[in-house]
Amino acid sequence: MEAMIVGFQAIFGDPFSIALLFFGVFMGIVFGCIPGLTAVLGVTLMIPFTYTMTPVQGLTLLVAIYVGGISGGLITATLINIPGTPSSIFTCYDGYPMAKSGKPGTALSIGVFASLIGGTFSALALFFLAPQLSKVSLIFGNWEYFAVALVGLAVVITMASNDLLKGLVGALIGIVLGSFGIDSISGVQRLTFGNWQLMNGLNSTALMMGLFAISEILHQCRDLSKEKKKIEVGKMSFLPPVKEMEGCMVPIVLGCLIGTGIGILPGIGQNASTLITYNQSKKMSKHPERFGHGSPEGICASETSNNAVNGGALIPLITLGIPGDLVTAALIGGLMIHGLQPGPLLFTSDLDVVGAVMVSYFLANIVMYVMELGLMKVFVRAVNIPFSYLFPAILMFCVLGTFALNNRTFDLWILIVCGILAYVLTELGVDMAPVILGYILGPLVEKYFRMAMTAELGNFGGILQRPIAVVCLIVAILFLVLPLFSKKLRDRKNALNI
Amino acid sequence: MKKTLALLLCAASMLALLAGCGSKSTDDKAPAANGGETASTEKADYPTSPITVIIPYSPGGGSDILTRKIMEYIELPNNQKLVAVNVEGASGFTGAMQAFNSKNDGYTILAHNPMDVVSYSLSGTTDVELWDELETVCGIVDDFNVLVTNPQSGWTTLEEALEYIKANPGTVKVGNTGSNNCNMADCLRTLDALGIRDDVVVVPYDGGAENKTALMGNHVQLSVNSCADIQSAITSGDHIALLTVGDRRAKFLPDTPCTAELGYDVVTTKPRGWYAPAGMSQEQQAVLQEAIKKVCENPEFEQDVLALGLEVNYVDGAALKEKISGWVEDLAPVFEEMK
């Protein structure tokens, strides 16, 4: 509470901080909405600049870029079916069909609204429950991480409900893509073919931009010569139309809880969070058949969840000094360069810095909402820009963004090869969602399982002493088995009725 | 419509430029501030253009901050500057290889912690012996591995911990940063020296932060972690230092005994320093050595480094090479055993 007041003072007492807040959110939105320039890149590029600012200013800027960037991804995801930032992958599945059906304004306002709710919810959690919630990140050991990741992997069945075989093929391809590089436990090289460039595995930004941006461009290029149907830009309002939001309560609540929860657990991140929320919402929805065809529930699930992760990830950062993801790891650097020690002592030694992180996160969400609504009229027009103008620019940004993130030309090959791979796979009817699922969760399941087994000297029974893990394990098994059962039951019922 | 489009495209290409140059152009300001006074009237042959420093870790990490601190203080002939380029991946190996494959004209150097490169060669992950093939320009700071526990264990000294472990073999878990690397070798050697290697279970974690978190959550009761990673946890009382693995006490932990004074034959200090592609001329190296030496003598820099959990210990290239080779000799048998 006290931190909050001091934080407000620290930020409002310094006009430059406020200016940085607005600038950061704007820059974040721009980086977020351009495919290839990701939220992470925005933050990494800015870190060196913050070294010369005061800690409050620097952290405000980084937090603002982070918030704007994660939210901005929904714009291109909705309008041209290319996620601006990897965490918006699942927004494409419903945002784009809705925009295509003549409601781009509505789709955007639902997405932006969901972002605000997700962000604000986790900001409140950060304000009032940070010390309590931070304990969660300590309770979680290897078994718990393993079980949570397994629950995520088990949703592959829901995901691939149309064609189980192709879904499983996709998930397996994803797992293979995720296993390139040096295995961190035994130090063995996997799938590197002796090439040192592959020793760190496939760069995840390059891979995701390849899978989603490059392949989408390849697809749409085939229709370039065709006359593009002009989409009527619908009305836009500050709040999304109430009748569209029917049934969205469930995904929003799920997104807030799952997003914040996953944010608190270090090392899992936005992509896993949106993936789990999206599939869980589909499962619990009254209209699961509408998912993937422009369902507002789908947009809400994805956008609430990815924004809620941000606030969650800040919790272990400020209370324990533990980074939750790449961006929060960068924030730690921002503290240390000024000689500040991230961790519990920060609350006594530099309360203004702690408060500033909390408050700037809260404010950035609001600024993001207002700014995106204000700019929406401009953005929406993008839906009618001829692709022949748009695609060369997007390609250029993908290449630049991928290179700038780690200063290696090799990553560009990953971008291109993954793009072609995804194009071929989609042509063969393999959906990209299970591929991403396997890529993100496969390595997590493996890593934590092996670490847990090392710690227990190879005794799997150890998991039985961890109640959270056992519950997750049961849920995962139910996820896997129930759909098969319920199908049988339905068949039997149908048979009886005849 | 066309105008808007043109405008948008213009803005887009501006952004592209920003993204492309961002990581290179950002670091130029710092040295200019205090570089003016050294510039002699005579023009030196080296450097005549900015020098690229490859940092093989992510921005915001310990090595990144250290390098950028050096850039703040360093004064090079002709008022030239350093440009930081982060190339992360495979615990520093990717960036080190990129530096290794760069031109040896003196304009690309590597700011490195040789630990992981040594690990990869000794564990057989790669057959390039990078630490031997790169030029060693100089060593700049030392980092220590420290054996720590948490308040939940109830131990405050090494003796208490040893006593408990001896009385209850197999119940205590020890966290370590990574597996099959120098940290693991250090950890095993320390446990061996303490005579408890067979009485504890060693759990490898992926990185210092994960290792720290596990100890805070009492998933392990002891942990061997680097001073830089756990400094904040020690200050806050979430970690209790029991033993420093080193030939001297760490300045940051003046009350914690070190292995050398207890008579254990395990001494390492992870040296972080500057390296260069093979064949960089000795004259050029001397220029850099002199500049770095001056930075290291600056008490302000020393304080900054201490705040990072590291300590300044300047050694020249030959001494650094000797230090690393001695270390490799010590570690090789442990790696053989781990295979």
pLDDT in tens, B286-299: 999 999 999 999 99
A496 class by beta-carbon count within 10 Å (0-12 exposed, 13-18 middle, 19+ buried): exposed
Measured between alpha carbons, how far is A89 from B167 in angstroms, rounded to an integer?
Answer: 54
Report the gap between the CA of B240 and the closest CA in chain A (Å): 15
What is the structure's pLDDT at B115?
A: 83
ipTM above 0.90, yes or no: no
- CB contact at 8 A, A292 and A93: yes
The answer on pLDDT for B19 being more than 60 is no
B46 at interface of A, judged by CB pairs closer than 8 A? no
For the ranges A231-245, B64-78, B125-139, which has the lowest average pLDDT? A231-245
CB contact under 8 A, B206 and A341: no
Measured between alpha carbons, how far is A240 from A377 in angstroms, rounded to an integer?
Answer: 15
Stretch 156-195 of chain B: residues touching chain A, C-beta under 8 Å: 173, 178-181
Residue B258 pairs with which residues in a beta bridge?
B244
Residues of A in contact with B30 (CB under 8 A): 52
Which chain B residue lies closest to A339 (C-alpha atoms)? B307
- CB contact at 8 A, A79 and A216: no
The minimal CB distance from B90 to the residues A199, A267, A345 is found for A199
Place of tokens 């995520």: A152
Place of tokens 């002709």: B78
The answer on pLDDT for B22 being more than 70 is no
CB contact under 8 A, A336 and B9: no
- CB contact at 8 A, B267 and B193: no
Report the gap between the CA of B317 and the closest CA in chain A (Å): 26
Place of tokens 């499983």: A168
B110 at interface of A, judged by CB pairs closer than 8 A? no
CB contact under 8 A, B125 and A403: no
What is the structure's pLDDT at A101?
A: 87
What is the structure's pLDDT at A337?
A: 81
CB contact under 8 A, B94 and A408: yes
For the ranges B18-27, B51-60, B279-288, which has the lowest average pLDDT? B18-27
For CATH 3.40.190.150, the residue range(s) in chain B are 50-142+270-338
Which residues of chain A, if any, have pLDDT below 50? none
Which one of A196, A326, A391, A402 makes the best mutation probe of the B interface by having the most chain B beta carbons within 10 Å?
A196
In the A/B pair of chains, how many CB contacts fall below 8 A? 181
The minimal CB distance from A187 to the residues B60, B125, B206 is found for B125
Residue B111 pairs with which residues in a beta bridge?
B274
Domain B50-142+270-338, CATH class in plain words: alpha beta
CB contact under 8 A, A41 and B19: yes
B81 at interface of A, judged by CB pairs closer than 8 A? no
- Nearest CA to A133 out of A281, A262, A21 is that of A262
Helices vs. strands in chain A: H and E counts, helices first: 21, 2
Q: Which fold has domain B145-245?
A: D-Maltodextrin-Binding Protein; domain 2 (3.40.190)
What is the structure's pLDDT at B1?
A: 47
Rounding to the nearest 10 degrees, give the CA dihedral for residues A384, A387, A388, A391: 130
- Nearest CA to A219 out of A2, A423, A13, A58 is that of A423
Which chain A residue lies closest to B10 (C-alpha atoms)? A393
The minimal CB distance from A45 to the residues B19, B68, B218 is found for B19
- Nearest CA to A84 out of A297, A231, A302, A241 is that of A302
**Higher pLDDT pick, B41 / B164:** B164
- What is the distance of C-alpha A174 from the center of its chain? 17
- CB contact at 8 A, A83 and A77: yes
B78 at interface of A, judged by CB pairs closer than 8 A? no
What is the structure's pLDDT at B80?
A: 93
**Higher pLDDT pick, B229 / A416:** A416
CB contact under 8 A, B69 and A337: yes
Measured between alpha carbons, how far is A205 from A84 in angstroms, rounded to an integer?
Answer: 11
Report the gap between the CA of A394 and the closest CA in chain B (Å): 9
Structure tokens at B312: 């300044």
The minimal CB distance from B235 to the residues A45, A345, A457 is found for A345
Measured between alpha carbons, how far is A450 from A463 in angstroms, rounded to an integer?
Answer: 12
- Nearest CA to A80 out of A405, A399, A417, A397 is that of A397
- What is the distance of C-alpha A77 from the center of its chain? 13
Distances (CA, A) of A312 to A137, A141, B78: 10, 18, 48
Residues of A in contact with B308 (CB under 8 A): 336
- CB contact at 8 A, A149 and A451: no
The minimal CB distance from A52 to the residues B29, B210, B219 is found for B29
Structure tokens at A430: 């393999």
For CATH 3.40.190.10, the residue range(s) in chain B are 145-245
- What is the distance of C-alpha A470 from the center of its chain? 26
What is the structure's pLDDT at A73?
A: 92
CB contact under 8 A, B216 and A320: yes
pLDDT in tens, A336-370: 888 788 888 888 888 889 999 999 999 999 999 99
Coil, strand, or helix at residue A466?
coil
Measured between alpha carbons, how far is A27 from A191 in angstroms, rounded to an integer?
Answer: 38
B190 class by beta-carbon count within 10 Å (0-12 exposed, 13-18 middle, 19+ buried): buried
Report the gap between the CA of A392 and the closest CA in chain B (Å): 10
Region B119-137: mean pLDDT is: 87
Residues of B in contact with A447 (CB under 8 A): 206
Residues of B in contact with A332 (CB under 8 A): 60
